[in-house]
Structure formats: C-alpha cells, structure tokens
Amino acid sequence: MLEIKDLHARVGDRKVLDGISLQVPNGEVHAIMGPNGSGKSTLAYVLAGRPGYEVTGGSVLFRGQDLLALAPEERAQAGLFLGFQYPVEIPGVNNVYLLKAALNAARKHRGLPEVDAFEFLQLVRGKMKLMQMDEAFLSRGVNEGFSGGEKKRNEILQMLVLEPALALLDETDSGLDIDALKVVAQGVNTLRAPDRAIVLVTHYQRLLDHIRPDRVHVLARGRILRSGGPELALELEARGYDWLLAGETA
C-alpha cells in the first residue's frame, strides 16, 4: 500500500524529516507515536502534499505509484485521505456540498458517473447514524462553529463516505471525551479491510485501546527510532519517550 524510503523533508530552512523509511502493507493498521514536535504531523502533511513542505530526498510509493509526483488533489483522488488534527472552517459552504464534491471527484477519477442525489443522501445518512451525528450537520457550513469533537467526527464521516485506500489520521483522538472517542474508533474500525490501510498519528495509548494496531512506530527528531507490535505502545505509556531518546543520543 505505502512504501516510504529514506524520506527527507524541510519547511523553510528547518529540516523536519530526516530519513524516514516505513512500509504499510494492505490490510494493516499502523500507529505513529512520538513526543511533541517529532515530525508526526509533518509526515502526514508531506504524504498529503501540503504546500510549504518540501521533499529533499527519498521516495514514496503509494499503490505502486510515485506519490510525490502527484498534486495534492490527485493524491486524494488516488485514495489517500488525511484526517486533519485541526479541521479548518469554511463558512457558507455546506458540509453536504463539500462531501458530494469530494465523492464525485473520487468517482470521476475512477471513471464512475456522478453520484445520484438520492443515493448520495442515503449513503451519507447511513454513515451519520454510525457516527451518531445529527442530520442538521449536513446543512451547516463546513466545520463552522463546530466543537472540537464535532470537527473530529466530521473528519471520520468524510472518511467513511470517501472510503479511501489509505487513511492518515492525525491526532484524531485529541480533544475527544471518552464517549466520542469510542464513536470515532468504531468509525475507523468499520473501515478496516484487506484492501485498505490506516495510519494513526497519536500521542496516547488510549486510542489504541479501541483501535488495535498491527504495528507501532516511534518517531522523534524526524526519524523512526523504533518499530514494534502493539506492546510497544503499552511500553511507551508506561515509560514515556525519554528512554528511547536517551538511547538515540548515546
């Protein structure tokens, strides 16, 4: 699904990724953990093609395709989804309008006709029920006046509607109370499938209590310090990051 080799990137003059190599096979869920400022969100932005994040070396293959050669919207159309840590508000643009435009862009890319209005509404209603969202959300402006938790739910709703091949979820758990966390986790779990992969960027073990990862990677100073199974996350929860960082400098 995703094959990152020796990826280097910078923002302005600041080096932010310093040789990341990572493989995420089909059907797996990977968690990327690490202290603040370690480059977790940066990695997600670089993969999604955010302007201002300059790749200075390395390669990324996404479903056998050179991901870095694609424009941001082409990466999305090819099936890469980024759940934002801080979803932006777009006043006056209906949620349902954005959602439909996004779905149709993806369908167009796959050579499918635009979705029928009735089918679309059926589809969205089903997913909203799963996310325990009120239908009034649809006619509200994109994230306009949403609480932090509502914004995160909305990200997952979009993901469920778009059914991406690869979902990168950037701190989707931050700002959620425990009930909301469960709902969001349930949403993510329904997307697990043999032909998909999910990458969770998170600070905390608590999300991983609800979404069990196949692999856990620790990222610090723009590099992956250690990779392991789910038990690595538990060890981090117990011991923090310092012992790993100390090992790095030694």
CB of 49 to other proteins, least distance (A): 8
CB of 141 to other proteins, least distance (A): 7
Residue type, 187: G
CB of 102 to other proteins, least distance (A): 4
In the region spanning residues 12 to 51, those forming contacts with other proteins, defined by CB under 8 A, are 48-51
Residue 166 neighbours by CB distance under 10 Å:
22
Give 136: exposed, middle or buried? Use CB within 10 Å, 0-12, 13-18, 19+. exposed
- Best CA proximity match to 17, nearest among 54, 62, 51, 52: 54
CB of 48 to other proteins, least distance (A): 5
Tokens for 121? 């509404």
Among 8, 109, 140, 206, binds other proteins (CB under 8 A): 109
CB of 42 to other proteins, least distance (A): 14
C-beta of residue 245 within 8 angstroms of C-beta of residue 35: yes
CB of 242 to other proteins, least distance (A): 33
C-beta of residue 115 within 8 angstroms of C-beta of residue 103: yes
Stretch that binds other proteins, among 10-18, 25-33, 105-113, 242-250 (CB under 8 A): 105-113
For the chain, state the CA radius of gyration: 18
Residue 202 neighbours by CB distance under 10 Å:
23
Of 141 and 230, nearer to other proteins (C-beta) is: 141
Q: Which residue has the tokens 């012992």?
A: 243
Among 38, 85, 158, 202, binds other proteins (CB under 8 A): 158
The answer to whether 187 contacts other proteins (rule: CB under 8 A) is: no
Residue 141 phi, psi dihedral angles, 5° rounding = -65, 150
C-beta of residue 5 within 8 angstroms of C-beta of residue 60: yes
The answer to whether 102 contacts other proteins (rule: CB under 8 A) is: yes
Question: Can you tell me the distance from the alpha carbon of 36 to that of 15, in angstroms, rounded to the nearest whole number?
Answer: 15
The answer to whether 140 contacts other proteins (rule: CB under 8 A) is: no
CA–CA–CA angle 82, 86, 92 (5° rounding): 95
> x-or-dash pattern for other proteins, window 58-97, by CB under 8 A?
-------------xxx-xxx---xx-x--xx-xxxx---x
Among 58, 141, 149, 230, binds other proteins (CB under 8 A): 141
- CA 106 to chain CA centroid, Å, is 17
By CB under 8 A, name the binding residues for other proteins: 48-52, 71-73, 75-77, 81-82, 84, 87-88, 90-93, 97-98, 101-102, 105-106, 109, 141-142, 158, 162
